[in-house]
């Protein structure tokens, strides 16, 4: 599998990133729950992505949910990268 097939999960990463930003707006929610929320959101978003995205890197639901969870957690890592760059 080449690297271009992973570009199809970029929309899931972006949506999960926006969900995480939305969770930051809610002041009562501790930051430790945000990775869990975006991971679950990624898993849920990946299920319809199998049918909608023709180049999605999974063919069955279990693999798609795994890819979605990792995409959601990737959005947390991207947030941390931006945070470190902004501090410097």
Tokens matching residue 57? 């890197």
Nearest partner of 34 among 44, 25, 49, judged by Cα: 25
Q: What pTM does this model have?
A: 0.86
4 contacts 53 by C-beta, under 8 angstroms = no
Give me the pLDDT at residue 41, please: 96
* Span 31-88, pLDDT tens digits: 899 999 999 999 999 999 988 888 888 889 999 999 999 999 999 998 888 888 988 7
| Distance in angstroms (rounded) separating the CA atoms of residues 49 and 61 | 10
Tell me if 5 sits within 8 A of 55, measured CB to CB: yes
Structure tokens at 39: 């991971």
- The token pair at 50 is 């199998």
């Amino acid at each position: 599998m080449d690297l271009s097939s992973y570009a199809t999960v970029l929309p899931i990463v972006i949506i999960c990133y926006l969900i995480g930003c939305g969770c930051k707006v809610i002041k009562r929610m501790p930051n430790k729950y945000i990775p869990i929320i975006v991971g679950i959101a990624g898993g849920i978003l990946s299920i319809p992505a199998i049918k909608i995205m023709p180049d999605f890197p999974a063919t069955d639901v279990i693999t798609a949910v795994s890819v979605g969870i990792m995409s959601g957690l990737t959005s947390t890592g991207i947030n941390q990268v931006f945070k470190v760059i902004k501090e410097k």
